Chain A
Amino acid sequence: MKNTIKVERAKKNWTQEDLAGKIGISRQSVNAIETGKFIPSTVLALKMAKVFGTNVESIFQLEKQD
């Protein structure tokens, strides 16, 4: 699964710390999700989409092997 969290953050000019504070997780956890090491739950993905003002599908996309 790939994601566009870094792009979305850049659009808003947010640091990982800023995003982490807005969705109630740690900066390290944001980093783990952003780098694809951890796939977030639906709830967390929806929270992210909400703070970015977009939908989940535009942040997370399945890859061929998924």
Chain B
Amino acid sequence: MEQSKKHTQWNSIIFALVHGATYLPAVWLLKHYVFGQFVSVIIAIVPIITFSIFIFKLIKAFSVLDEVKQRVQLEAVVIGFSLTAMLMMILFLLSLRNISNAGWFGYGDLVCYCWIFYFVGWFISKKKYGI
């Protein structure tokens, strides 16, 4: 049972790495080479597929956590989502007045902020429950 839990958790970590290993090369390829539209779409979709598998494995890993750790994850996701939503709202409102910095707040940056906010939430929640 314990072995199976560990296996499930390792699976999610492995697929996070697999996603990273497809996302970063996809960014690099699309940034530095010119491909046809079809090839570009395929390159863009590959990391999305690996991300979907990663999320599936992550949800499975959450289900084998004990209830305190599940609560920590839930709060981390809620805090992460809320901060991301707040950032999107402020960027939208500022964009109405053409106040924005694409160099700091492009789509790619937003993905990074989203993950940073999740880890901020995780840290806050871990502190709250002392785990």
**A31 and B130 within 8 A (CB):** yes
B130 near A25 (CB under 8 angstroms)?
Answer: no
- Interchain Cβ contacts within 8 Å, total number: 36
A-side interface mostly:
loop
Q: Tell me which residues across on chain B come within 8 A of A28, comparing CB atoms.
A: 68, 129-131
Is the beta-carbon distance between B68 and A38 smaller than 8 angstroms? yes
Q: Which residues of A contact B1 (CB under 8 A)?
A: 24
Contact B67 A25 (CB under 8 A): yes
The answer, yes or no, to whether B128 is at the interface (CB within 8 Å) is yes
Interface centre among A32, A35, A37 (most CB of B within 10 A): A32
Interface contact B131-A25, CB-CB below 8 Å: no
Which residue on B lies nearest to A27, using beta carbons?
B131
Q: With the chains together, A28 CA to B71 CA distance in Å?
A: 13
Cross-chain contact of B67 among A35, A37, A41 (Cβ < 8 A) = A41
Render A3-30 as a binary contact track against B, CB cut-off 8 A, 1 for contact: 0000000000000000000001110110
**Which B residues fall within an 8 A CB radius of A?**
1, 66-69, 71, 128-131
Query: A interface vs B, CB < 8 Å?
Result: 24-26, 28-29, 31-33, 35, 37-38, 40-41, 44
